[in-house]
Structure 1
């Protein structure tokens, strides 16, 4: 049973009981988080180590660490979320670190503690994200500059003991593209990615400009920003552009969830014309991406940008768009998408 439903019923019962009593004393209602056994967390960690399609997301809400909303805390994220890409500063518990640190750190002690809790207890991997351009940096546009810039990012990750690096490859004319980007990736590949032997991730995300095929052996996942993709056909075309060199198991499709926190994307149609999810609710693109696989095989995963906005969704109770259910689920698209992508028992 959904815990939100339990909480609502508990509050209703207490309100009824108090209203029926002739007293001015107001009870203190304390809602406790669900308690899970170590076996649950062990199973969760083992699941994340298994061969499965992942759930990935860019997250920045943790910088509002004083907020009471669980949507702005690492500990409020869906348990089965596999990889969090830090779309802001790296949380640190060292007060000497400031937002302008050359290592991209910021003093966020609560976020730091919570980030490492979900890593240790839930097996969630956390990577640093950076827009990969050499312009306006201290590094020269030379092979030596490529290596120096790469090593700077390596230090940022290792200094904070993160689980890897996510490069936002949107060069927009920057010198660090094509063959130069491949050189860059080869340097990073000594420390992160499948060639490194370190277990740390090397991820490349992109929108329109496709990364060089030569980078594939060094990269764990290629995350495409498939924003506003309304059909399986559209997603297939997004993958076909790199299918001759990128295995389907490395391809991750993502939506701009900050735009679509109310519905979970744009209306989505599957290859067979289906437009509803497994619960009979209208299908939107985040869950559509979770359900979709390219014709070449199982994809690497699905996810979203600014997914914390969807913590406050009213779905799947939005009757105006045809939802069938009665209780809202925080992070509806991610939670249901994970279930759709990796059904229990399969």
Structure 2
């Protein structure tokens, strides 16, 4: 999503709340055994994000505008802290040592352990441990922000319900993603359901629903936004997976090798797997030493199998479904316009 897809109002305030949370946690945690350095590196890793979830939540809140803007800002910050926690845990699960093209927290703490004389295995274990523990603190901070809201009890309970659903879905989806990798393949339905649980619910559906709840929307509007958010979120994930194989890293900021090296089971692979052209190249899939020449062989197999065309068709279908839901809804016109921009970016992101 481009920065102009939804308004910027409130993002500076969200950033200030996030900074306050890091400072408050630092004061409470102290620096036992050097944990202060771990927390400071965690704070630095939070810089440079697109604040997608806060943008969506604030857009939904503004559209109804019957609740406290301060509460909306704090819940938006909570969702960003939740996202940062999931990124840290995801890096451990995926054995990643890079984030946004730079060494992540795991890599930096691994290197610190090496400098203290630890061997490679112990240094990496320390880096993983730091990411898990810092992620746990961020999850606690996100819960605390919502617990401290000065909002009516029914509204707070509704927010807790959405948050709990999002966290549970993300855990189930992450497990499904790992299991798909172990199994070495999946059908389209399994991949799409994994995307829904792992990413779409907490990144798109939850922010829209929570913003609407905070804005005083009725149950029908909240439910509609949940459906639209989930559908658009899956479309975004399929688009990300396409860019992760066929994108130009100079334009996308994403590696076009890491998913193939990891052996990530995406919709591209799910569609390609049964085709002979993929089977003849599949020995390269999941090779951690895969180079650009090998990646070109896999890309060609995906295209010949129809995997790329079918992934693009899935994006188009999801986009059409989301737009149809919007057209049939009674959502505020300004919010529909914001969501149309977001839907368009899912359909049209360049390679």
Larger Rg: 1
**Higher strand fraction: Structure 1 or Structure 2?**
1
**Higher helix fraction: Structure 1 or Structure 2?**
2
Question: What TM-score range do you get, normalising by the shorter chain?
Answer: under 0.3
| TM-score, scaled relative to structure 2 | 0.26
| TM-score, scaled relative to structure 1 | 0.26
Higher relative contact order (CA 8 A, sep 6+): 2
